[in-house]
Amino acid sequence: MYGKSGSFALQNSRFRNAKSKLSFFVRIIFTKLMLFWHLSWAAKKKIVFEIKFY
């Protein structure tokens, strides 16, 4: 059991880092999906619109 507590602490910090990165990537994926859906919907309806990036 020597050195086990250090490895658990390291594993917990890796898990925390993975959780924060996951939420970041989920936001990116859903943003791109929403943009794609909106563009395809507008193309179906033949609507011209302007996208503003701030």
2 in any annotated domain = yes
44 in any annotated domain = yes
Per-residue pLDDT of the chain (54 residues; tens, 9 = 90+): 455 555 656 666 666 666 677 777 777 777 878 888 877 777 777 665 566 665
5 in any annotated domain = yes
34 in any annotated domain = yes
Which structural domain, as residue segments, surrounds residue 18?
Answer: 1-49
17 in any annotated domain = yes
Number of domains comprising the chain: 1
Q: Per the confidence metrics, is the pTM higher than 0.75?
A: no
Other Cβ atoms closer than 10 A to 38: 13
19 in any annotated domain = yes
The conformational region for residue 48 under phi > 0 = left, psi -120 to 50 = alpha, else beta, is beta
